[in-house]
Structure 1
Amino acid sequence: MPGRHVTDHQMRLFMKLRQEHTTEIAAAKASISRATAFRIKQDPQLPSQKTKPRERRRPDPLAHIFDAEVVPLLKAAPGIRAVAVFEEMLRRHPELSEGVRRTMERRIRSWRAIHGGEQEVIFRQIHEPGRLGLSDFTNMNEIGITIAGQPLDHLLYHFRLAYSGFEHAHVVLGGESFVALAEGLQNALWFLGGTPLYHRSDSLSAAFRNLDADAKEDLTRRYADLCAHYQMTPTRNNKGIAHENGSIESPHGHLKNAIRDALLMRGASDFDDLDAYRGFIDEIVSRRNARYGKRIDAERAQLQPLPGRRTSDFEEVVVRVSSSGGFTLRKVFYTVPSRLIGHRLRVRMFDDRLDVFIGGTHLMSLRRGRGHASGKHDQVVDYRHVIHSLRKKPMALLQLVYRDKLFPRQEYRRAFEILLDRLSDKQACKITVELLALAHDRGCERELAERLRKILDAGDLPDIAELRTLFAPDPARLPTVNVHLASLNGYEALIDAHQVGDAA
């Protein structure tokens, strides 16, 4: 073929074939031209025997420094990068050209192949159906998800079966924790309909950080109890050895890429609420699982049966309601109805909510807050819990610690700021508190907010009397209905008459 050199194999093949075929046929079978065939007949020496060793076309630019300086550096610091060695040589020898970087990198790579230390070997494993499930968390902040325009700081809990590739993902609002692991793992197992023999996770370093020895032991025990409830043997990969969790570490990237692609096709990364975003993640994971439907069905048959019920996926603490009308938990202040002041409450902490109990009675569920990374406390406030007391002391609103969290919607905060700017502090606080009370008493929080937006956009101030008339009826003006209960003597007479009739 033109432009290609004849190899020793082609030449040997031609010499063998020409003993039984003509020169033209033997050349064709050896994939060489007729002219080359006649040239080979004249000179039967193999091509490799004719090749002269290639000599350098220019002086070796590293000859005077590689053995003398580079090699000692590689021996002293085996893990050093080739680019760092090159930069050091440039510093020592300014006359070196930038163009020898690749030459030095190739020379270092060749030296390490012969004289370098041993490297870690990754041992590929055979995965059996129903044997191993893996859990891990991955940070999703780089995706840029927003909820109603506000950035969502969150992780994604990711569960995967090593054999079939079944996946489950769960949005985690806090950091890596036992509560998040327990909730996400149990959701995955109950959706799957069975449990594997082994469950592997990383060391959950974030969950153990800043914990004392007793807390770490308690967390380890709770994780062991969780796995025992589902008849799974808990295992962990060695700290810092990510490839031991490779069956889920690599799918992290694939799942994130699928989410990015779906967001691009969706045309926006903003969602109306958290439930909408969670539904979006569930849909993507379901599509990915559909590709492995047959393998997943085959593995389901090998899974262990589920227990009769779920186990706890929460952390329970006891708090006391202070005179401020709430309690502080994990650097977050939560308001509760003032009738609970002085009471001790049991709080079950889930990843996204708190369930509040007094004794064995469930009182309410609260959105879970998170303390700031800087150490600053946060507040989760419901104005309905404190509005009755605030009406008695409206000036308390002016310097209230959690004032910004008290307003249920942006329109109420905007109204307060404009009132402060145009009226006295006392009038502004009184009108704002009455607006909140009106929203609570008449159950018109959204409608009142829309009305306030129109009033403020027009440059006017809200008129409480007019708004009360607009959102009538006033509960104080509702007619009183008196119900007169019948005397029980009439029922007694009916019973006696019925008994007399039966006797007759």
Structure 2
Amino acid sequence: MKARESGSKQSTAAAQAGISVRSGRRIEQGQHPRQPGRRHDWRTRKDPLAEVWDSELVPMLERAPQLQAMTLFEHLQQRYPQRYSRSILRTLQRRVQQWRATAGPAKPVMFELVHRPGEMGLSDFTHFKQAPITIQSKPFAHLLYHYRLAYSGWQYVQVIQGGESFIALSEGLQNALSACGGAPQEHRTDSLSAAYRNLGGRRQSDLSDLYDRLCQHYRLKPTRNNRAQAHENGSIESPHGYFKNRLHQALLLRGSFDFESLSDYQQLIEQLIERLNQLCHHRFEQERPHLQALPTYRYADYEILSARVTTHSTICVRCITYTVPSRLIGQRVTVHLHHDRLGVFVGRHRVVTLSRVHVPADAPTRRARSVNYRHGVESLRVKPRAFLNCTWQQDLLPNDDYRQLWQQLKQQFERYLAARLMTEALYIAAKQDKEYAVAQFLSAQLQAGTLSLASLQQEFKASTPLPCPGLDVQQHPLTHYDQLLGYDTYSHDRQRDPQRPPQTSQAIPYEPSLAGP
């Protein structure tokens, strides 16, 4: 109105006010704004689902609310051919969505929870499927143990070999508690078979004895979420995906999914976890005083087994055959079974540590073997013919390079001489720790056609030990022992017999015989 009063045209004033010319003219004439008309609640075309919606589709949705619109559309096409085209699919989708919002079943509600410091820690295992991890170009089957404090979000992740066993849970949990410096009041997991028997309803006896004692050792209250209800463990399930996404991005940035050793892979994970923990450092410092103090000693994170070493210098642990040093043949040994290794003890003394072998779940048999040529290399050297027909022949060869060399030796030499050369090479490689150097020498000599047993032994001839220096021992006078004891026998005897000569030691020319007449 001010623009019109100042002499502006109707179109100019309407543009300045942000309205149409018609509305500006109506306002200038004193007419009231138009009232909204009747709500549009009538159809402009025929309902294509009128014949089947109330009679067929709604009863199907009431019986199974999880039915999708695409499933109902395909059902209509099969029951009424050439009657319903794909043009009604969008209409059916809107109709199903509207029915669920107005008459469908109630949906589960996610309630926001408040966590108090030092109250709860959560554990879970997860698979890393975003990238194929390999160790020295070999597929590496593993799990990731993930621990997290509910209040601060402090995390710990460890690589686990094998399944979700109690041994893996015990080691991962204790390492996590040691890393954060304290234990919470409550430990939450899902229905892990490593912690629960899963008997169904009998909660009092559902807790396994080993897990119960572990929680008592750290004064933890064990709890778990309901079966198949992952959202009840959301404080650990959601960080699973976030961490694995960060790990995948770090591997892509690294440019390779292959690692030289397991420790390199674990080191990369620890670097990522350290960065994530820096984001919640302030809240973790608030939570740390509320954590319980850790006990003096760790709980056993291994299973104790017993085995007898056979004449083949092997032990059998969980259907897996392991070779051990031959000096243990006939001994009854104690085995500490970890998730990734075996500790072999004689009494209280650890004699050897072996890498644990895990059989894949899809393998046709549970049996396997782990053979180390170093454990029986002395006997192998003196029994080269045994190497020819040994059932472990391929396992005794340390790697693919030695297996290829063995094929070349069999082609260029007589079988016994080839076995003699290979067993001597394995003996030198074990005793001098020159596995790679021996393989390189064999390969070069085979190509040149100059390989012989004498050349092999001469090339890796052990250095001559330094001679032991001789000792010049002199017999001390016996009076020195009297002085050491604080009693001068000679002076005492001289007082009694002044004419007694001084006492001197004499060397015995030979040892007296103990066999007399």
Letter in 1 for 2:391: V
**Using the alignment, how far apart are the partners of 1:280 and 1:502 within structure 2?**
75
Q: Is the 8 A contact 1:356 1:364 kept in 2?
A: yes
Q: Is the 8 A contact 2:187 2:222 kept in 1?
A: yes
Question: After the TM superposition, which residues 439-450 of structure 1 pair with which residues of structure 2 at under 5 Å, given as runs?
Answer: 439-450=429-440
CA separation of 1:422/1:101 partners in 2, compared to 1, >3 Å: closer, same or farther?
Answer: farther
Q: Is the 8 A contact 1:145 1:269 kept in 2?
A: yes
- Which secondary structure state, in structure 2, belongs to the residue aligned with residue 180 of structure 1? helix
Paired residue for 1:189? 177
Question: After the TM superposition, which residues 275-424 of structure 1 pair with which residues of structure 2 at under 5 Å, given as runs?
Answer: 275-373=263-361, 374=363, 375-424=365-414
Letter in 2 for 1:465: A
**Using the alignment, how far apart are the partners of 1:434 and 1:209 within structure 2?**
53
Are positions 1:451 and 2:441 aligned together? yes
Letter in 2 for 1:419: L
Are positions 1:121 and 2:109 aligned together? yes
Which one has a larger percent helix, Structure 1 or Structure 2?
A: 1
**Using the alignment, how far apart are the partners of 1:491 and 1:388 within structure 2?**
50
- Greater radius of gyration (CA): 2
Q: Is the 8 A contact 2:197 2:208 kept in 1?
A: no
Q: Deviations over 1:263-308 (max 9, x none)?
A: 1111111111111111111011001101111011111121111111
Paired residue for 1:9? none
Paired residue for 2:454? 465
Paired residue for 2:166? 178
Q: Is the 8 A contact 1:435 1:464 kept in 2?
A: no
Paired residue for 2:58? 71
C-alpha deviation, 1:497, in angstroms? 4.3
Paired residue for 1:17? none
Q: Deviations over 1:430-474 (max 9, x none)?
A: 322221112123332232133344456x47574332222122236
Q: Is the 8 A contact 2:183 2:292 kept in 1?
A: yes
**Using the alignment, how far apart are the partners of 1:438 and 1:39 within structure 2?**
108
Letter in 2 for 1:442: Q
C-alpha deviation, 1:396, in angstroms? 3.1
CA separation of 1:206/1:196 partners in 2, compared to 1, >3 Å: closer, same or farther?
Answer: closer
Are positions 1:249 and 2:237 aligned together? yes
CA separation of 1:108/1:218 partners in 2, compared to 1, >3 Å: closer, same or farther?
Answer: closer
Pick aligned residue for 2:141 from 132, 137, 153: 153
C-alpha deviation, 1:115, in angstroms? 2.6
CA separation of 1:460/1:105 partners in 2, compared to 1, >3 Å: closer, same or farther?
Answer: farther
- Which secondary structure state, in structure 2, belongs to the residue aligned with residue 50 of structure 1? coil
Q: Is the 8 A contact 2:479 2:488 kept in 1?
A: no
Paired residue for 2:423? 433
Q: Deviations over 1:400-443 (max 9, x none)?
A: 33333322233212111222344444333332222111212333
Q: Is the 8 A contact 1:161 1:167 kept in 2?
A: yes
Are positions 1:92 and 2:79 aligned together? yes
Pick aligned residue for 2:49 from 59, 62, 72: 62
- Superposition RMSD in Å: 3.3
Unaligned runs of 5+ in 1: 1-13, 15-22, 212-216
Which one is further off, 324-333 or 253-262?
324-333
**Using the alignment, how far apart are the partners of 2:281 and 2:14 within structure 1?**
54
**Using the alignment, how far apart are the partners of 1:243 and 1:495 within structure 2?**
85
**Using the alignment, how far apart are the partners of 1:208 and 1:462 within structure 2?**
62
Letter in 2 for 1:426: Y
Unaligned runs of 5+ in 2: 2-9, 200-204, 492-517
**Using the alignment, how far apart are the partners of 2:140 and 2:483 within structure 1?**
72
Which one is further off, 197-206 or 163-172?
197-206
State the percentage of identical aligned residues: 41
TM-score (normalised: structure 1)? 0.84
Q: Is the 8 A contact 1:175 1:206 kept in 2?
A: no
Letter in 2 for 1:471: F
